[in-house]
Amino acid sequence: MGMACERGSAFHFKLLATCPNTRARAGIMSTPHGDVLTPAFSPVGSQATVKALSPQDIKEIGANVVLCNTYHLYLRPGVDVIEEMGGLHRFMAWGGPVITDSGGYQVFSLGHLRKLTEDGVLFRSHLDGREHLLTPELSIEAQDRLGADIIMALDECTPYGEDIGVFRQATERTHRWAERCLRAHRSRKQALFGIVQGGTFPELRKESAHYVTSLGFQGYAVGGLAVGEPKAIMYEVLEGVEAYLPKESPRHLMGVGSPEDIFECVDLGMDIFDCALPTRAARNGALFTRLGRVNIKNAAFQRADRPLDDKCDCYTCKTFSTSYLHHLFKSRELLFYRVATLHNLRFILSLMEKMREAILGGTFYELKRDFLQNYRPTDEEVRMEQKKKWLKRQRPPWSEEAE
């Protein structure tokens, strides 16, 4: 089963297998800069860099696609600069596929620094306070000039907890913007993905999936999840949406990156994931192991003369003791950020490789069962409270901090 791209002839997706008793899928997504083997996880390089890693690092840990952020690159160094330097691939010295998001999520997270209109979003830069108008047409033009292989339509992301009327208005505006993005899309070297919205309301998600898929995008992303809702609700919503997504098209679930969530969402038929969680958690001392996430600053690790995870094949686990990682973090040594990020990303990418192999071999159910039996997720109440605080915390104007 395969898909030939009508609007982007350089892009193709071929579905190879669906695992029995699950919706888990394995496929190949072909782009002008190489293939992406799905299911796949895309490290986030918002500002044309995955924090603390070189392009060679990214390649060596097994990543074959990177996601960059249109909002941040539009503001700094600017689309003109990147275009003049030969596009994102040459600018960041990354030869593999690149995805760009529309910039919409970052703009909507600015809160009081932006104003929503039918034309687009009027916002003030978090860097210098200057005013900009992000429209669907401008988002597509910027992503075209950046030179990404896969680009996203501009959508309206609404925070969890609003009433259905707010979500309906946002979903309908997302649909109108999707049509404008399609009309603005010119490049046959890029694939344009439409985004399904609708919050946690099944009827809105169904309407959105039907409408967006009727427009004929090359792929489909599911947005507006993992934004503070309980995991059980996220899984339930995703299970409902998946039924309305074309089987022959790739599906991108935006903003999901914890191991347990990826397993569940691969099981629910998702192909591509991106999230800053693994890199952000690493920089804050939260490291993945097959038994769960650990906090490396804990005193128990001070004399731990063993690898962090003796089953992990990353450079960090093959080279350093847990005691040394504890020392680096407590001493705020810069090396920690690199080796911790290498570990967390390799941990996730290794899981993706195992999932793909299991799907092709018909054993995904057993792999998922065995992993989740041993893995201890972050406490749900603690996770939701942390997420709520993170979502409410507004970055001050002209701040330098960005994922």
Catalytic residues, which ones? 101, 274
Spell 337-374 as b/e; 16+ CB within 10 A means b: bbbbbbbbbbbbbbbbeebbebbeeeebbebbeebeee
* Backbone dihedral angles phi then psi of residue 301, each to the nearest 5 degrees: -90, 0
Residue 296 contacts residue 281 (beta carbons within 8 Å): no
* 128, amino acid identity: D
Strand partners, 38: 27
* 246, amino acid identity: P
Dihedral of alpha carbons 348, 97, 155, 124, sign: positive
Residue 270 contacts residue 238 (beta carbons within 8 Å): yes
Q: Rounded to whole angstroms, how far apart are CA atoms 362 and 16?
A: 12
Question: Cis bond leading into 77, ω under 30°?
Answer: yes
Choose among 99, 86, 228: nearest CA to 145. 86
Choose among 235, 245, 133, 228: nearest CA to 193. 245
Dihedral of alpha carbons 122, 126, 127, 130, sign: positive
Spell 89-106 as b/e; 16+ CB within 10 A means b: bebbebebbbbbbbbbbb
HEC-encoded secondary structure of 163-221: CHHHHHHHHHHHHHHHHHHHHHCCCCCCEEEEEECCCCCHHHHHHHHHHHHHCCCCEEE
- Residue 182: CB atoms within 10 A of its CB come to 17
HEC-encoded secondary structure of 132-168: EEECHHHHHHHHHHHCCCEEECCCCCCCCCCCHHHHH
